[in-house]
Amino acid sequence: MGIRNRYRTMIALTVQLLFTACAKSTAATDSPQQSKGLKDYFSDYFTMGVAVSPAALSGPESDLILKNFGSLTCENVMKPAPIHPDENRYSWTNADLIANYAKANKLKMRGHTLVWHRQSPAWFFKDEQGNPATKELVLKRLREHIHQVVGRYKGVVYAWDVVNEAIDDSDQKTYRETDWYKICGPEYIASAFRYAHEADPDALLFYNDYNTENPVKREKIINMIKGLLDEGVPIHGIGLQGHWSVSYPSEKQLRESIDQYAKLGLKIQVTELDVSVYPSGHNNPDDDAFTPEREQKQIDQYKMIFRVLRDYRSVISAVTFWNVSDKSSWLDNYPVPGRKNYPLLFDTNLQPKKAFWEIVNW
């Protein structure tokens, strides 16, 4: 081989080595320039969703949503009070806007929520004279509400949070003493699932709650669901809200909980995920900086959560974040009004945070 040919071969080999090294490094760790979205990194695991308001569906937030998520939940506008403000008046505009956007962009949609103790209009519980309504009247109204709402979004909404937060947080009581419960007893829960199934037999019907990793509350939820299943009530899934924080849940609590819920044989979805940077009980309104320590704790917690969720991919079918980015989260006003929180994977400028890269490059 002549000197010139030897040089050519050496150069070709070096180029090939460099090329292979580069290809390997991008395969192992994707960078911020990456064009894949969150949903693509998890396509072999579960659907990634996000809760939105109508305002999020235009401008840069819309681009972020379409790139990163495959499913939408209405943050508020499908709840009973906004969508059915008076007995004889439905207000469909905002919910239609989100449902039409989901349809136009081929996104899945979760319906949230048909029965809840909050954001439920007072008219449900009073008769025409202003006296407390009877159980018969309340259930009749509930059936009508569910038929209208579920019927309207049939074919767009594939899963409904039928009943939200019916279980009490205390160790003493099983059911939360809501207006629904006070008037109807626990029967309103089974009835709501039956009405939803009548309205859309193809929809997956979920019971949804928070603090689902607390062993006492967990047992109450599981017993309630077992009872519903024994009665033949059409319930298909349990929604773990996932309003978590840097201090809750622990890996052990999370694994044990998913194990227990999985034994029910229902689908499991994480329906409202966010990770507060404040540990529970930290309520100082002035201490709200996203310090490097807080950032690291949040990264560790997100990594733990997604390690566990990935391990349980055979039972978990979807993970939905509650809000799009740190620009605006309900946690900016809860539990401390006006205290900024940073609970999501995208920062206040809509850019992926370190936690994002850590969970996709696992």
Closer Cβ to ligand GLA, 312 or 330, answer by number: 330
Minimum distance of ligand GLA from residue 112's CB (angstroms): 6
Q: Tell me how far apart the alpha carbons of residues 236 and 145 are, in angstroms, rounded to a whole number.
A: 21
Q: What is the DSSP letter of 54?
A: G
Q: Which residues sit at the interface with ligand GLA, rule CB under 6 A? A: 112, 164, 210, 241, 243, 272, 330
Angle made by CA atoms 327, 330, 333, in degrees to the nearest 5: 100
113 phi and psi, to 5 degrees?
Answer: -140, 155
Percentages (nearest 5) of helix, strand, coil residues in the chain: 45, 20, 40
Minimum distance of ligand GLA from residue 170's CB (angstroms): 18
Pick from 263, 260, 269, 254: which is nearest to 318 by CA?
269
Q: Tell me how far apart the alpha carbons of residues 38 and 359 are, in angstroms, rounded to a whole number.
A: 9
Closer Cβ to ligand GLA, 71 or 164, answer by number: 164
User: Which residue type occupies 72?
Assistant: L
Cα 303 to Cα 84, 249, 326, 345: the distances in Å are 40, 13, 18, 12
Residue that has been written with the tokens 């103790």 in this structure: 117
Minimum distance of ligand GLA from residue 264's CB (angstroms): 20
Closer Cβ to ligand GLA, 164 or 298, answer by number: 164
Q: Is 256 in the active site?
A: no
Minimum distance of ligand GLA from residue 183's CB (angstroms): 21
The bridge status of strand 237-240 relative to strand 267-276 is parallel
Residues 89 and 128 sit within 8 Å (Cβ to Cβ):
no
Minimum distance of ligand GLA from residue 131's CB (angstroms): 30
Closer Cβ to ligand GLA, 330 or 357, answer by number: 330
Residues 180 and 117 sit within 8 Å (Cβ to Cβ):
yes
Minimum distance of ligand GLA from residue 16's CB (angstroms): 54
Class of residue 135 by CB neighbours under 10 A (exposed 0-12, middle 13-18, buried 19+): middle
Q: What is the DSSP letter of 110?
A: E
Residues 347 and 324 sit within 8 Å (Cβ to Cβ):
no
Residue least distant from ligand GLA (Cβ): 330
325 phi and psi, to 5 degrees?
Answer: -150, 170
Q: Is 144 in the active site?
A: no
Closer Cβ to ligand GLA, 217 or 299, answer by number: 217
Closer Cβ to ligand GLA, 70 or 111, answer by number: 111
Residue that has been written with the tokens 């949230």 in this structure: 112
User: Which residue type occupies 223?
Assistant: N
Q: Tell me how far apart the alpha carbons of residues 238 and 121 are, in angstroms, rounded to a whole number.
A: 25
Minimum distance of ligand GLA from residue 197's CB (angstroms): 21
Kindly name the residue from 61, 75, 165, 213 that is annotated as catalytic. Answer: 165
Kindly name the residue from 272, 293, 295, 358 that is annotated as catalytic. Answer: 272
Question: ω before 249 within 30° of 0 (cis)?
Answer: yes
Closer Cβ to ligand GLA, 200 or 272, answer by number: 272
Please give the positions annotated as active site. 165, 272
